[in-house]
Amino acid sequence: MTDDLTELPGVGKETANKLIAAGYNSYMAIAVARPKNLMGIEGISENASKKIIEAAKKVADIGEFMSLSELIDKRKNRMRVTTSSPQLDALFGGGLETTSVVEFFGEFGSGKTQTCFQLAVNATMPVEKGGLDGHVAWIDTENTFSEKRLRQISEAMGLNFEDDVLPKIHYARAWNSHHQMLLLEERAYELAKTYPIRLIVIDSLTSLFRAEYIGRGTLAERQGLLNDHMHKLSNFVGLNNAVAVFTNQVQSNPGQLFGDPTKPVGGHIVGHNATHRVYLRKGKQGRKVARMIDSPENPDIEALILVEECGVRDG
């Protein structure tokens, strides 16, 4: 959703294009920016950045305070999508709720992407069957997308893949971190103008950033970009009454002497921006163990699941 930035005093077409290319495509995005952020854009001085931000503040819709009763009424519009595993649904209080941002992290083979496939199929189903009766936007950063798996899961759910699911899945491959950000900031918002996007999947969130920003010297820049990316993801689900699900890689914490040293990539930036964080790991006899490790309202509990050809089920 892009505002006409040329309406801001001192912003011509060329400057507007530079702002949009840098991710500042709305009055609100500029209004909440810091001058030093805009100064990093070619041709924008410190004085100019301050003037542009002040002008954006005057026209941006920054919202109003609402009463608690109004907030409760607004939340009645939220929906939940099932994972097809009652045990896993229970971790979220009955399925993944719209307007939330959900992280599934774990090692290779822990079932992260497969869980996303199941959610993608389920999101297309009617609300009365545990779906969102909507469309899905899928951003693939690791070349792990599989039409075959979607077809298998659809057929196991009793759906006609060609008629019920295929037209509702919108796919994009991200080739680098900047491309990944643009797909969300511009293409996903454009897609939502035409289709009711109720689920957006990023598989995985951090892999491209991790590959491109190597060493401690680039850590601050990487974390700043991830923070901006996740804020825009949160804004998207709020505007579209959608669920955002992203997978995340893990790394070992050598300083941890007791317990599981595995931790997700991205640090506090990713952790603070996710509504719910679920750790997936391999269990016994082919099962997967899903553990809710961070949630504003749900307890720290585990679920046993099976990830089979038919999709996700209770273990």
Q: What is the mean pLDDT of residues 248-269?
A: 71
- What is the rounded average pLDDT of the residues 18-23? 79
- Check whether 117 has a pLDDT greater than 80: yes
For 253, the token pair is: 């914490």
One CATH from 3.90.1170.50, 3.90.650.10, 3.40.1080.10, 3.40.50.300 for 70-314: 3.40.50.300
Would you state the pLDDT for residue 132?
97
- Better pLDDT: 153 or 254: 153
pLDDT of 76 > 60? The answer is yes
Q: Which CATH architecture has domain 5-59?
A: Orthogonal Bundle (1.10)
Q: Does residue 34 or residue 240 have the better pLDDT?
A: 240
Mean pLDDT of 28-39: 84
Q: What pLDDT does 258 receive? A: 53
- What is the 3-class SS of 29-98, one letter each residue? HHHCCCHHHHHCCCCCCHHHHHHHHHHHHHHCCCCCCCCHHHHHHHHCCCCEECCCCHHHHHHCCCCEEC
The per-residue pLDDT for 35 is 87
Where does the pLDDT of residue 259 fall: very low under 50, low under 70, confident under 90, or very high at 90 and above? low
CB within 8 Å of 279: residues ≥ 6 apart: 105, 106, 262, 264, 290, 291, 293
Task: Give yes or no for residue 52 having a pLDDT over 80.
Answer: yes
What's the DSSP call for residue 182?
Answer: H
Report strand pairing: 276-282 vs 288-294. antiparallel
pLDDT greater at residue 244 or residue 217:
244
Task: State the average pLDDT over residues 226-247.
Answer: 93
In terms of pLDDT, which residue wins out, 220 or 53? 53
Q: So where are the chain's domains? A: 5-59, 70-314
Across 102-131, average pLDDT: 96
**Is 174 or 26 the better-scoring residue by pLDDT?**
174
Terminal C-alpha separation, the chain: 42
Q: Which band of pLDDT confidence, cut at 50, 70 and 90, is reported for residue 129?
A: very high
Indicate if 70-314 has the same CATH topology as 5-59: no
pTM of the model: 0.80
Least confident of 15-24, 230-239, 297-306: 15-24
Q: In this predicted structure, what is the pLDDT of residue 55?
A: 92
Beta-bridge mates of residue 163: none
Q: Report how far residue 168's alpha carbon sits from residue 189's, in angstroms, rounded to the nearest whole number.
A: 16
pLDDT at 74: 75
In angstroms and rounded to an integer, the radius of gyration of the C-alpha atoms of the chain is: 20
Q: Is the pLDDT of residue 276 over 60?
A: yes
pLDDT at 118: 98
State the pLDDT at residue 42. Answer: 83
Which residue intervals of the chain are DSSP H helices?
A: 13-21, 27-31, 35-39, 46-59, 68-75, 86-91, 112-123, 147-156, 177-182, 189-194, 207-212, 219-240, 267-273
254 pLDDT above the threshold of 60: no
**256 band by pLDDT with thresholds 50, 70 and 90:** low
pLDDT score for 260: 63
